[in-house]
């Protein structure tokens, strides 16, 4: 049982008005067995970290997810909510940090930024896995909180201890949204609303809503090898989501931007093309094909395999998110793309070659409902305002990703339970379909 946490002094200072016109008291934040308590209001809020001599476990936020091996931290902050954000020496709330992009972002920020501390809030649904973060578990600048972004009480508690928010928590698999949209509405829409309300009340300095290019809908198909680049999504492209997943992400984006317009909350929205890299669940195209190819199993490709996607390595995406957080313009939308259009069939053929699998294992299956034909994204504002461009060439990134799955077989086998298998399987369990039929590849 950890020792009780005691306040360093009751606050008698008047509440400061934040940009939203709501009160936010200047206070210290103490973590420990008693949760979050106010401390001495007379100490300037300059974000310096003082460590308790106690090795008491962190049990705040009503969470069972905090490690008992980490010491409590006390955050001291100066009340200056009306000023532009000074995004160094900050504590970041990163939601969904146990997922694919989230865990890579946790690792990226801890390795590239020595001036930040991270609180990772994750519900650990099928997509969240603490094994993704085993290598940072003991980092003194990292905390994990097991909880739901749609839980207002918990979110308010956590929000009082942070300066900025990176919201990556989301239900994100299109096929699952076709089976049932309810979890997507609850997490992607209601959860984002809860975070925004808590951020507004606490007066956080910046809220980054991490989204997807799928909110733009689909583009006319074109051959990626053509000399004509064809149209691409820009930040000005009207939102035309075509799946329950992308509809809920579009709703969350619009909610976030409305809080900037209506309440002057410092909000930035980022939209990214298809990610790939380590720690991605084997239900998505690239890791699914890699793991199946390593086993010599059939490689199920939707439809004719000519759907076009713009691929970006997750590390490039993480670098863009860091730049959006530190350099972004309040109220702006930034697209991040890999400038790498490939058909799904081309990607699968590259994986077959990299693994040394049999090309005959490629099997074409019935296409999913509403499958968008092409995505391609322009990232002019990210280049001009943030100085960002993708660095990792797709073919090189794909080979390193294949190597990662080859050397982390224990990881992907441990996560590939029934719910991680090809999304066509759970859909059949809801509404039985005939066996997939094989057909020839279109030129």
Catalytic residues: 213-214, 245
In terms of Cα–Cα distance, which of 135, 3, 140, 151 is closest to 63?
151
Rg (CA), the chain: 23
Q: How many CA atoms lie within 13 A of 443 on its CB side?
A: 0
Bridge partner list, 146: 122
The string over 294-321, giving b where at least 16 C-beta atoms fall within 10 Å of a residue's C-beta and e elsewhere, is beeebbbbbbebbbbbbbbbbbbbbbbb
Per-residue exposure over 325-343, b if at least 16 CB sit within 10 Å of its own CB, e if not: bbebeeebbbbbbbbbbbb
d(CA 117, CA 309): 34
For residue 260, the Cα-to-chain-centroid distance in whole angstroms is 21
Cβ(311)–Cβ(394) below 8 Å: yes
- Residue 133 sits at φ, ψ, to 5 deg, of -120, 20
Question: Strand 164-167 vs strand 206-212: parallel, antiparallel, or unpaired?
Answer: parallel
Cα–Cα distance list, 277 to 107, 193, 282, 432 (Å):
13, 30, 11, 33
């Amino acid at each position: 049982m950890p020792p009780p946490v005691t306040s360093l002094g009751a606050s008698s200072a008047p509440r400061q008005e934040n940009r939203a016109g709501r009160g936010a008291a200047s206070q210290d934040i103490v973590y420990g067995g008693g949760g979050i308590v106010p401390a001495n209001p007379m100490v300037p809020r300059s974000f310096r970290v003082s460590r308790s001599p106690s090795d008491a476990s962190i049990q705040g936020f009503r969470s069972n997810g905090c490690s008992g091996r980490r010491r409590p931290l006390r955050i001291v902050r100066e009340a200056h909510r009306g000023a532009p954000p000074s995004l160094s020496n900050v504590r970041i709330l990163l939601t969904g940090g146990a997922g694919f992009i989230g865990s890579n972002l946790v690792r990226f920020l801890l390795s590239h930024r020595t001036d930040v501390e991270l609180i990772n809030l994750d519900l650990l649904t099928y997509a969240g896995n603490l094994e993704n973060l085993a290598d940072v578990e003991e980092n003194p600048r990292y905390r994990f909180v097991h909880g739901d972004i749609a839980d207002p009480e918990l979110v308010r508690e956590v929000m009082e201890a942070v300066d900025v928010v990176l919201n990556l928590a989301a239900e994100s698999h299109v096929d699952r949204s076709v089976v049932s949209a309810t979890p997507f509405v609850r997490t992607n829409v209601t959860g984002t609303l809860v975070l925004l309300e808590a951020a507004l009340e606490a007066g956080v300095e910046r809220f980054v809503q991490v989204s997807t290019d799928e909110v733009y809908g689909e583009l006319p198909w074109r051959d990626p090898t053509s000399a004509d680049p064809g149209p691409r999504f820009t930040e000005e492209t009207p939102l035309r989501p075509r799946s329950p997943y992308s509809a809920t992400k579009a709703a969350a984006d619009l909610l976030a931007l409305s809080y900037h317009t209506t309440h002057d909350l410092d909000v930035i929205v980022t939209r990214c093309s298809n990610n790939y890299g380590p720690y991605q669940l084997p239900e998505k195209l690239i890791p699914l094909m890699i793991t199946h190819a390593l086993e010599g199993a059939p490689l199920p490709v939707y439809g004719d395999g000519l759907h076009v996607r713009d691929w970006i390595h997750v590390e490039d995406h993480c670098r863009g998110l860091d730049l959006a957080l530190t350099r972004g313009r309040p109220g702006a939308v930034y697209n991040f793309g890999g400038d790498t259009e490939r058909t799904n069939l081309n990607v699968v053929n590259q994986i077959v070659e990299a693994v040394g699998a049999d090309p005959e294992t490629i099997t074409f299956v019935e296409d999913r409902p509403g499958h968008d034909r092409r995505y391609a994204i322009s990232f002019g504002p990210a280049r001009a305002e943030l100085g960002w461009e993708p660095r990792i060439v797709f073919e090189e990134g794909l080979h390193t990703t294949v190597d990662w799955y080859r050397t982390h077989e224990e990881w992907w086998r441990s996560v590939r339970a029934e719910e991680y298998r090809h999304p066509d399987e759970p859909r059949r369990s809801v509404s039985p379909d005939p066996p997939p039929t094989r057909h020839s590849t279109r030129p």
